């Protein structure tokens, strides 16, 4: 597409002129970037887009990169905590009848492990990666709704602290990450532990939903001129589909946890079969969220794979359209599988068979993705660097997880392996193989962009092999011990069942796997402090995030790029085409049309504000208090309302007024 | 990286109404997720209703009149709501101020009647699962109503200040109109589920 | 590094072979359902292994290529890409065929499983409790209805119908060497048909997380020849054996005076509690506390003296007994064969 097409107004909605008339104050125009020299442009933009100094300034930041960095670091810390949970459990299980950890603590440990890994690590880290990369990849200056995005982070971090402080006070949830009723209900779940689970879930998912909406709008409305639907990078597609899945799946878990807290707190009977409720309703609602949740974690990882492979195979992804359609198909199909978590509940056989078929079906779009990646790699002998090694690790492990998933989809077969260590093995192969390995690859791949420095390649290779060996040693034997009859979530097992040796082996593998993360942490710190400077585009990759400096300036791009290819930097080797005409004294960015990405509006992006933090505190305090009394909702309403009004009330900046 | 300017966007407007504005899409996103929540709550209600052959579980039939009045008020409010939308698009301050006051009042009116809906259910939330579900459905929509009315009132006040003379604010009025439609739309199925489904059994 | 991986793999294989002969293993089937399922597991696993090896081979292709990639990433070879497209299409087609095949296979396996118990003559109601199993043998004659706990005697070679429910939380009944698992859900009743080909003892345990002592909620299916099974049923219908000896007699008195009677039943005595296992023939069982301890005098004493030490969180309270009293009660219970 030539740049002349972009100024053509044929696809713009009518009524463009009328909006500029009426009772509105005239625009107080400011300096524009047109014709401005680079040094002045930088000075203007840096002053306009900076995060204010000082602690209050830092807490007010709405820069998507600052927020994303906080998310990434927080999520990594939660990963370490969840990993320590796992190591503690493996020590207890390393031999039969070990008395190191009693059932009370053990049940909290595996619940916290699941809750932390799912809600505080996996979902936030894939969303955080998106918060960092999506605005850069679509060529805009900030995420849509930057204050909502900041609010999301504060909610997330306070929700995580809430769960972990409860755990430290021995009030941690102990009913498993899916907290089935009646075990978590008012009659069999005494104390506040299940309430902590319910309110923490509802609360932290607010953050996930906020990020999802911000991501969707960023992708739909803030793409650089010319980035029509067919030129959106695959990673951005993956995040877009994931965000839609979040929007339709997360409400289910919030409804589930809200129903649970109502049953527990005010005596409703929604899940009580003695009074017309039903225990299985909980499972239907939970897994309507719970299965898509797996894809919420997995789809962004496929986007990472789709970014890393083209960079090292030195060609655009093979079957771009097929990959996009597969993403969308997986997004839809993920809502049709939830019952395969419930085969053992004794549902009618015919209905269960339908879910076997639908669970098998989702393997097809996933297969398409795998085959397209392999075909991309067949371009020639790739340069093997650490990011690509982790992609190989992803293939090695995720395909195993996918195939055992096919086994679980079979109703009769599932009845033998459901709720055993076979399933534990399966979902760790899917989640670690399918998501964590790509994430680690992505860390090596995008670390230079985020910090401006490279991570050590030598340590990276050590890290990779340690992680691969540790992971497979820990999780492959779990398939076997599951088939030997070992159920999951047991804090001990009798010696005469013969599971002792294999469990010792598993525990050793788990420790090795944990050590690989220690090495990774060292490599991160070492790279950030001592790594060799990276330059703008160390891998010579083709997407827009590599067009700006490393790390990117607060305003991302001095001028907004104009996109002519799905890999714009490969197509425009000499000079990147850019747009001019934005104000530099206010946070202006380009809002474009949904399909064609024609520039449509010069919209202002929100300025830094402390109110999102205050609003998160008000909402968080209300949730915390609501564990003890339903009246918390009444008392909390006033502070929440005040902080929200403070958030949205205009302060007189040009960003507010025009 | 070297750059070459190819596109001049200096003439673009600084705000857009409806789907041209990111806020409209954000509002749509929140409607989608709230709508999913409502649909799942309604689905849970229907699930339990089909599970138990004697649904309503021998509770008395609810008195539908307060609910019906709320429904009528909400449906009637759609007319001034859309007239307001037309003025917002034209950025006409006088009529928009009147319209916002009218919509604030038309938001408060169903809330007042809503107060009488809860006793008219003729059952408490802790009596049985039927009672729980209809209280939950009514409670969900009431929360929805309260937050939107609160939002409308704050925006009304804002439109009476000098901050109102801005394209963005008129855009906000448009989004408020859009959201109110959604509040009314979600109520219709809930109304039928709460008051008319139990009459079938 | 690669050698390390292969050593690890070899070790895993050795461990695998070593532990294969489990009495709670899905891979060691002792009944028609488990045999069908074991076959299904091996078939699926074998096919999956083949698919995995093929994908890994496809991944190894670029690593063995001689040519490096060209410098200009956008200069694509249209001919090569259309060849790749053909390969990808064939692979997707094969995937679809395999998946349809596996779906049909699991559908027919399901039908085979459903046919196993169609002519079951014996019906046993199994009720899950935190953390033990209540077992009730149904019979048209009320006096022949039998209630026991944790150990389920069945006639070998005959299909038996289990009715599964729960009075507290959700449990799951799973005896891997005989059948797949099925949940026990309060307010619902599930039906599981099982059959053991030969006499033997088959261990199972609760498979759905059910709280503090989920790990210690074992059960045993004891399959016996029909005659032996009938004799067992008749024996179990008898009231408890009268205590013999001073210790046992004192023990019975103590049992009836202490809180034990609030929860436990002993047929033929005033003890009629129903919230805990029926103890009428407790000493005839092989284990205590749902498979936690083997049945012996010492273990009985240990369990009664310190239930929270043996099974932390269990609903059995500590009853304050002197050493002699404990001795008497154990002597009494030990006689309840």
The model's pLDDT over A87-121, given as tens digits with 9 standing for 90+, comes to 999 999 999 999 999 999 999 999 999 999 999 99
Q: Is the distance from CB of A608 to CB of A61 less than 8 angstroms?
A: yes
Q: Touching B: which chains, 3+ CB pairs < 8 A?
A: A
In this prediction, residue A11 carries a pLDDT of: 43
Lookup: tokens for A492: 């001990």
Lookup: tokens for A384: 């093997």
Residue A237 lies in a domain: yes
Check pLDDT > 80 for residue C1. no
In this prediction, residue A347 carries a pLDDT of: 87
A contact test, residue of B32, B167, B175, B201 with most A CBs within 10 A: B167
My answer on whether C213 and C150 are in the same domain is: yes
Check pLDDT > 70 for residue A353. yes
C234, C261, C286 - which closes a domain: C234
State the Cα angle at A487 between A482 and A493, rounded to 5°. Answer: 100
Q: Is the distance from CB of C139 to CB of C158 less than 8 angstroms?
A: no
Distances in whole angstroms, Cα of residue B180 to Cα of each of B17, B78, B79, B81, B150: 16, 8, 11, 8, 12
My answer on whether C224 and C292 are in the same domain is: no
pLDDT band at C5 (very low <50, low <70, confident <90, very high): low
Q: Nearest-CA distance from B179 to chain A in Å?
A: 16
Indicate the angle between helix axes A146-168 and A103-115, nearest 10 degrees.
Answer: 170
Q: Note whether A188 contacts C169, CB cutoff 8 Å.
A: yes
Closest CA to C309 of A97, B46, A116, B55: A97
Burial of C313 (0-12, 13-18, 19+ CB in 10 A): middle
**Average pLDDT estimate for A15-22:** 51
In this prediction, residue A8 carries a pLDDT of: 43
Task: For residue range A301-348, list pLDDT tens digits in order.
Answer: 999 999 999 999 999 999 999 999 999 999 999 999 999 999 999 988
Lookup: tokens for A308: 């890393």
Q: Is the distance from CB of C132 to CB of C290 less than 8 angstroms?
A: yes
Kindly report the CATH number assigned to the domain that includes residue C121.
2.60.40.420
Check pLDDT > 70 for residue A419. yes
Q: How far apart are CA C257 and CA C245, in angstroms?
A: 19
CATH 1.20.120.80 fits B21-200, yes or no: yes
Residue A156 lies in a domain: yes
> Does the CA dihedral B171-B174-B176-B182 come out positive or negative?
negative
Lookup: tokens for A136: 């850069």
Task: For residue range C213-250, list pLDDT tens digits in order.
Answer: 999 999 999 999 999 999 999 999 999 999 999 999 99
B-contacting residues in A 119-148 (Cβ below 8 Å): 144-145, 148
pLDDT band at B201 (very low <50, low <70, confident <90, very high): low
User: What percent of chain C lies above the pLDDT cut of 90?
Assistant: 82
Check pLDDT > 50 for residue A14. no
C199, C214, C234 - which closes a domain: C234
Q: How far apart are CA C131 and CA C168, in angstroms?
A: 10
Residue C239 lies in a domain: no
Residue C146's beta-bridge partner residues?
C137
In this prediction, residue A249 carries a pLDDT of: 96
The total domain count for chain A is 1
My answer on whether C227 and C260 are in the same domain is: no
Q: Which of C92, C181, C216 sits opposite A344 (nearest CB)?
A: C181
Residue A115 lies in a domain: yes
In this prediction, residue B1 carries a pLDDT of: 74
Residues A265-282 as b/e (b if ≥16 CB within 10 A, e otherwise) read beebbbbbbebbbbbbbb
The neighbour count for residue C257, using CB atoms within 10 Å, is 9
Q: Note whether B13 contacts A32, CB cutoff 8 Å.
A: no
Chain C residues closer than 8 Å to A344 by CB? 172, 180-183, 207-208
Q: Is the distance from CB of A223 to CB of A590 less than 8 angstroms?
A: no
Q: Is the distance from CB of A67 to CB of A147 less than 8 angstroms?
A: no
Q: Note whether A412 contacts C312, CB cutoff 8 Å.
A: no
Instruction: Give the rounded distance of the alpha carbon of B146 from its chain centre.
Output: 9
Check pLDDT > 70 for residue A9. no
User: What pTM value is reported for the model?
Assistant: 0.94
Q: Which of C48, C172, C191 sits opposite A344 (nearest CB)?
A: C172
Residues A166-203 as b/e (b if ≥16 CB within 10 A, e otherwise) read bbeeebbbbbbbbbbbbbbbbebbeebbbbbbbbbbbb
Region of A267 please: left (phi>0), alpha (psi -120 to 50) or beta: left
Q: Which own/partner pairs from C313-319 qualify as long-range (CB within 8 Å, at least 24 positions apart)?
A: C313/A103, C313/A104, C313/C211, C313/C212, C313/C213, C314/C131, C314/C212, C314/C213, C314/C216, C314/C289, C315/C130, C315/C275, C315/C276, C316/C263, C316/C276, C316/C289, C317/C259, C319/C258, C319/C259, C319/C260
Q: Is the distance from CB of A252 to CB of B36 less than 8 angstroms?
A: yes
For residue B36, the SS3 value is: helix
A contact test, residue of B37, B40, B161 with most A CBs within 10 A: B40
Q: Is the distance from CB of A309 to CB of A262 less than 8 angstroms?
A: no
Q: Complex ipTM, two decimals?
A: 0.96
Chain C residues closer than 8 Å to A487 by CB? 174, 205-207, 214
Residue C12 lies in a domain: no
The total domain count for chain C is 2
Instruction: Give the rounded distance of the alpha carbon of B11 from its chain centre.
Output: 36
Residue A251 lies in a domain: yes
Name which residue leads in pLDDT, A10 or C164: C164
Check pLDDT > 80 for residue C48. yes
Q: Nearest-CA distance from A399 to chain C in Å?
A: 7
Chain A contact for B53, CB < 8 A? no
A contact test, residue of C163, C207, C294, C302 with most A CBs within 10 A: C207
Chain B contact for A658, CB < 8 A? yes
User: Which structural domain range is residue C320 located in?
Assistant: 246-334
Chain C contact for A542, CB < 8 A? yes
Lookup: tokens for C244: 């013999």
C contact test, residue of A100, A309, A344 with most C CBs within 10 A: A344
* CA torsion, ordered A210, A213, A217, A218, to nearest 10 deg: 50
Residue C226 lies in a domain: yes
My answer on whether C314 and C196 are in the same domain is: no
Chain A residues closer than 8 Å to C1 by CB? 465, 469
Chain B residues closer than 8 Å to A212 by CB? 29, 33
Q: Chain-wide mean pLDDT for chain C?
A: 91
User: Which structural domain range is residue A291 located in?
Assistant: 56-336+519-530
Among the ranges given (A340-349, A384-393, A397-406, C13-22), the one the predictor scored with the smallest mean pLDDT: C13-22
Residue C174 lies in a domain: yes
In C, minimum Cα distance to A506 occurs at: C12
In this prediction, residue A6 carries a pLDDT of: 47
Check pLDDT > 70 for residue C256. yes
Q: Which of C12, C44, C213 sits opposite A477 (nearest CB)?
A: C12
Q: Note whether B4 contacts A577, CB cutoff 8 Å.
A: yes
Task: For residue range C176-213, list pLDDT tens digits in order.
Answer: 999 999 999 999 999 999 999 999 999 999 999 999 99
Check pLDDT > 90 for residue A387. yes
User: What percent of chain A lies above the pLDDT cut of 90?
Assistant: 89
C-contacting residues in A 407-426 (Cβ below 8 Å): 407, 409-420
Task: For residue range B108-141, list pLDDT tens digits in order.
Answer: 999 999 999 999 999 999 999 999 999 999 999 9
Chain A residues closer than 8 Å to B22 by CB? 144-145, 217, 221-222, 591, 603
My answer on whether C50 and C181 are in the same domain is: yes
In B, minimum Cα distance to A656 occurs at: B168
Residue A490 lies in a domain: no
Kindly report the CATH number assigned to the domain that includes residue A307.
1.20.210.10
In A, minimum Cα distance to C102 occurs at: A410
Task: For residue range A255-300, list pLDDT tens digits in order.
Answer: 999 999 999 999 999 999 999 999 999 999 999 999 999 999 999 9
Task: For residue range A190-248, list pLDDT tens digits in order.
Answer: 899 999 999 999 999 999 999 999 999 999 999 999 999 999 999 999 999 999 999 99
Check pLDDT > 50 for residue A589. yes
Chain C contact for A484, CB < 8 A? yes
Residue C15 lies in a domain: no
Q: Nearest-CA distance from A485 to chain B in Å?
A: 34
Chain B contact for A50, CB < 8 A? no
Task: For residue range A423-460, list pLDDT tens digits in order.
Answer: 999 999 999 999 999 999 999 999 999 999 999 999 99
Chain C contact for A427, CB < 8 A? no
Q: How far apart are CA C133 and CA C173, in angstroms?
A: 9
Q: Chain-wide mean pLDDT for chain A?
A: 93
Residue C165's beta-bridge partner residues?
C127
My answer on whether C145 and C213 are in the same domain is: yes
My answer on whether C41 and C182 are in the same domain is: yes
Check pLDDT > 70 for residue C40. yes
Q: Is the distance from CB of C95 to CB of C135 less than 8 angstroms?
A: no
User: What percent of chain A lies above the pLDDT cut of 70?
Assistant: 97
Region of A83 please: left (phi>0), alpha (psi -120 to 50) or beta: alpha
Peptide bond into C128 cis (omega under 30): no
Task: For residue range B90-113, list pLDDT tens digits in order.
Answer: 999 999 999 999 999 999 999 999
My answer on whether C101 and C226 are in the same domain is: yes
Q: Nearest-CA distance from A649 to chain C in Å?
A: 50
Check pLDDT > 70 for residue C9. no
Chain A contact for C65, CB < 8 A? yes
In B, minimum Cα distance to A598 occurs at: B9
**Average pLDDT estimate for A361-375:** 95
Q: Note whether C185 contacts A280, CB cutoff 8 Å.
A: yes
Chain B contact for A14, CB < 8 A? no
Q: Nearest-CA distance from A411 to chain C in Å?
A: 7
């Amino acid at each position: 597409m030539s740049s002349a097409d972009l100024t053509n107004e044929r696809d713009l909605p009518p009524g463009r002129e009328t909006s500029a008339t009426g009772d509105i104050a005239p625009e107080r125009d400011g300096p524009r970037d047109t014709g401005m020299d680079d040094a002045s442009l930088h000075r203007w933009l840096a002053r306009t887009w900076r995060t204010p100094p000082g602690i209050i300034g830092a807490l007010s930041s709405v820069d998507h990169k600052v927020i994303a960095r906080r998310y990434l670091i927080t999520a990594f810390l939660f990963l370490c905590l969840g990993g320590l949970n796992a190591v503690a459990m493996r020590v207890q299980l390393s031999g039969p009848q070990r008395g190191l950890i009693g059932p009370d603590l053990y049940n909290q440990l595996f619940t916290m492990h699941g809750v932390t890994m799912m809600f505080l690590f996996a979902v936030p880290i894939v969303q955080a990666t998106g918060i960092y990369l999506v605005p850069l990849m679509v060529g805009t200056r900030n995420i849509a709704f930057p204050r909502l995005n900041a609010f999301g982070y504060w909610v997330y971090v306070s929700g995580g602290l809430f769960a972990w402080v409860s755990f430290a006070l021995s009030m941690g949830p102990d009913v498993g990450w899916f907290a089935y009723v009646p075990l978590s209900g008012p009659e069999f779940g005494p104390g506040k532990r299940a309430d902590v689970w319910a309110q923490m879930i509802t609360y932290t998912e607010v953050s996930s939903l906020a990020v999802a909406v911000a991501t969707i709008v960023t992708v739909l409305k803030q793409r650089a001129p010319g980035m029509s639907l067919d030129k959106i990078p695959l990673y951005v597609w993956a995040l877009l589909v994931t965000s839609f899945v979040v929007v339709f799946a997360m409400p289910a878990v919030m409804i589930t946890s809200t129903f649970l807290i109502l049953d527990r707190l005010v005596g409703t009977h929604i899940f009580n079969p003695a009074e017309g409720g039903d225990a299985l309703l909980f499972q239907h609602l939970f897994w309507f969220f719970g299965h898509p949740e797996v894809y919420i974690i997995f789809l962004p990882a496929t986007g990472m794979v789709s970014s890393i492979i083209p960079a090292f195979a030195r060609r655009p992804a093979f079957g771009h359209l097929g990959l996009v359609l597969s993403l969308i198909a997986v997004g839809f199909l993920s809502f049709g599988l939830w019952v395969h978590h419930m085969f053992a509940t004794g549902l009618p056989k015919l209905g269960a068979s339908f879910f076997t078929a639908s669970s098998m079906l989702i393997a097809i779009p996933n297969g398409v993705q795998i085959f397209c990646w392999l075909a991309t790699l067949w371009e020639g002998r790739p340069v093997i660097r650490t990011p690509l090694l982790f992609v190989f690790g992803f293939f090695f492990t995720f395909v195993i997880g996918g195939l055992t998933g096919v086994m679980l989809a079979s109703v009769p077969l599932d009845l033998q392996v459901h709720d055993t260590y076979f399933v534990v093995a399966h979902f760790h192969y899917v989640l670690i193989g399918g998501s964590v390995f790509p994430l680690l690859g992505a860390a090596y791949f995008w670390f230079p962009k985020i910090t401006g420095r490279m991570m050590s390649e030598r340590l990276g290779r050590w890290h990779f092999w340690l992680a691969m060996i540790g992971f497979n040693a820990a999780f492959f034997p779990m398939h076997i011990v599951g088939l030997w009859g070992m159920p999951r979530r047991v804090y001990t097992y009798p010696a005469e069942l013969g599971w002792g040796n294999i469990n010792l082996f598993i525990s050793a593998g788990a420790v090795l796997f944990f050590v690989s993360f220690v090495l990774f942490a060292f490599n991160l710190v070492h790279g950030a402090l001592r790594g060799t400077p990276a330059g703008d585009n160390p891998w010579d990759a083709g997407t827009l995030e590599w067009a700006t400096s490393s790390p990117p300036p607060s305003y991302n791009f001095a001028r907004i790029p104009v996109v002519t290819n799905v890999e714009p930097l490969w197509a425009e080797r000499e000079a990147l085409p850019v747009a001019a005409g934005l104000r530099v004294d206010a946070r202006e960015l380009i809002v474009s049309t949904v399909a064609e990405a024609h520039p449509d509006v010069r919209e202002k992006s929100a300025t830094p504000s402390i109110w999102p933090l205050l609003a998160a505190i008000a909402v968080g305090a209300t949730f915390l208090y609501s564990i003890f009394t339903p009246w918390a909702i009444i008392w909390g309403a006033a502070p929440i309302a005040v902080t929200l009004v403070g958030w949205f009330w205009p302060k007189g900046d040009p960003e507010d007024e025009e | 990286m070297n750059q070459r300017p190819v596109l001049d966007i200096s003439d673009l407007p600084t705000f857009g109404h409806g789907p041209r504005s990111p806020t409209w899409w954000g509002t749509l996103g929140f409607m989608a997720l709230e709508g999913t929540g409502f649909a799942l709550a309604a689905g849970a209600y229907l699930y339990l209703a089909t599970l138990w052959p004697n649904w309503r579980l021998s509770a008395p039939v609810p008195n539908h009149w307060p609910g019906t009045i709320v429904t009528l008020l909400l449906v009637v409010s759609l007319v001034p709501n859309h007239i307001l939308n037309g003025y917002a698009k034209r950025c006409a301050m006088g009529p928009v101020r009147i319209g916002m006051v009218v919509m604030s009042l038309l938001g408060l009116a169903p809330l007042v009647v809503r107060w009488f809906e809860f006793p008219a259910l003729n059952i408490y939330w802790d009596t049985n699962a039927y009672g729980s579900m209809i209280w939950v459905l009514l409670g969900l929509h009431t929360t929805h109503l309260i937050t939107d009315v609160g939002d409308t009132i704050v925006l009304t006040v804002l439109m009476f200040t000098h901050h109102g003379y801005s394209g963005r604010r008129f855009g906000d009025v448009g989004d408020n109109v859009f959201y109110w439609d959604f509040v009314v739309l979600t109520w219709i199925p809930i109304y039928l589920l709460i008051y008319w489904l139990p009459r079938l059994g | 590094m690669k050698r390390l991986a292969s050593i690890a793999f070899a070790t895993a294989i050795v461990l695998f072979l070593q532990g294969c002969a489990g009495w709670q293993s899905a891979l060691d089937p002792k009944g028609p359902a488990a045999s069908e399922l074991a076959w299904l597991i091996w078939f699926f696993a074998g096919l999956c292994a083949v698919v995995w090896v093929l994908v890994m081979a496809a991944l190894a292709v670029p690593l063995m290529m001689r040519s490096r990639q060209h410098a200009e990433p956008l200069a694509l070879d249209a001919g090569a890409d259309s060849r790749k497209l053909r390969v990808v299409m064939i692979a997707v087609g094969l995937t679809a065929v395999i998946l349809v095949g596996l779906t049909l296979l699991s559908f027919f396996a399901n039908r085979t499983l459903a046919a196993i118990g169609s002519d079951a003559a014996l019906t046993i109601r199994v009720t899950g409790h935190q953390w033990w199993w209540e077992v009730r043998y149904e019979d048209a004659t009320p006096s022949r209805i039998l209630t026991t706990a944790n150990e389920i005697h069945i006639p070998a070679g005959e299909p038996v119908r289990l009715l599964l429910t729960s009075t507290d939380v959700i449990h799951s009944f799973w005896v891997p060497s005989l059948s797949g698992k099925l949940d026990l859900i309060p307010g619902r009743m599930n039906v599981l048909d099982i059959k053991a080909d030969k006499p033997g003892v088959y261990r199972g345990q609760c498979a759905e997380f059910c709280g503090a002592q989920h790990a210690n909620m074992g059960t045993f299916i004891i399959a016996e020849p029909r005659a032996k099974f009938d004799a067992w049923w008749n024996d179990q219908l008898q009231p408890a054996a009268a205590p013999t000896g001073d210790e046992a007699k004192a023990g019975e008195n103590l049992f009836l005076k202490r809180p034990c009677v609030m929860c436990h039943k002993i047929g033929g005595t005033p003890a009629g509690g129903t919230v805990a296992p029926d103890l009428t023939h407790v000493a005839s069982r092989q284990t205590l506390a749902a498979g936690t301890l083997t049945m012996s005098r010492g273990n009985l004493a240990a369990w009664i003296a310190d239930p929270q030490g043996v099974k932390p969180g269990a609903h059995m309270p500590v009853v304050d007994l002197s050493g002699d009293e404990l001795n008497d009660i154990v002597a009494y219970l030990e006689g309840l064969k």
